[in-house]
Structure 1
Amino acid sequence: MRLLLYSKPGCHLCEGLQEKLEQIQNLSFELEIRDITTREDWFAAYQYEVPVLYLSNRQDAEEDTCVRGFPPVEQSVRDAEGSEKLLPRPSPRASVQQLEQMLRKYLAN
C-alpha cells in the first residue's frame, strides 16, 4: 500500500501530518511526498487544499496523473489499472494513534 501526500514547502499542516504518518509503526505502507510546487497540474489542483492524502494501490504511483483536469474534492476515487482513494484530511490535533485508526478503517474497505 502506498500513501500519497500532496504538500508544499512551509506548510505546517503538511509537515505535521507527514511527521505523524512517519511515526505509525503498526501499519505497513510506503509514504510518497509530492511537492505541489514541482508540477503545474498538482499546484492548480491543490494549492488551497494541502495537505491532501491519497491511498493508492498502484505500483507506479510516481508517474500518476490522477489530478490532471479534476478538482481535488469532487473526484475522490480514480480507477485506472488500480485505484486511488482520496482520504479525509485528519484534524491537525489528531494523535498518531487516531491517524492509524483512520487509516485502518480505509484499508478495510
Structure 2
Amino acid sequence: MRLILYGKPGCHLCEGLQEKLEQVENLKFDLEVRDITTREDWFEAFQYEIPVLFRVREERNGVEEPIPRPSPRATVRQLEQMLQKYFVNNDSE
C-alpha cells in the first residue's frame, strides 16, 4: 500500500505524524510526503487542514482516499492500529 502525507515545512503536526509513520514496523507501506507549498492546488485544498493523510487505491487506478487524521497524541502503536483497518479494507475490496 501507498500512503500520501500532505504537509508543509515547519508544521510540527506534519513532522510529528511523519516521524510516527516512519516508526510503524508491522505494516508495509510506501510513504510519500507532499509539500503543499510546491503546488497551488494542494495549497488551496489543504492549507487549513494539514497534516492530511491519504491511501492510494492501486486497484482503483490510483484513487486517493482520505484517512481520518490521528490525534497528535496517538502513540506509534495506536497509529498502527488505526491504519490496520485501512490495510484490511484495502485487501478485501
Task: Give the TM-score taking structure 2 as reference length.
Answer: 0.90
Q: Give aligned pairs, total.
A: 89
Write 1 or 2 for the structure with the bigger share of helix: 2
Give matches, 1:30-109, under 5 Å.
30-58=30-58, 81-109=61-89
Q: CA RMSD in A?
A: 1.4
Structure 1: distance between partners of 2:86 and 2:62: 16
Task: Give the TM-score taking structure 1 as reference length.
Answer: 0.77
Structure 1: distance between partners of 2:71 and 2:61: 31
- Find runs of 4+ consecutive structure 1 residues off by over 6 angstroms: none
Say whether 1:6 aligns with 2:10: no
Shift of 1:80: 5.9
Residues 1:80 and 1:107: Cα distance change in structure 2 (over 3 Å): closer
Structure 2: distance between partners of 1:46 and 1:56: 17
Structure 2: distance between partners of 1:17 and 1:81: 26
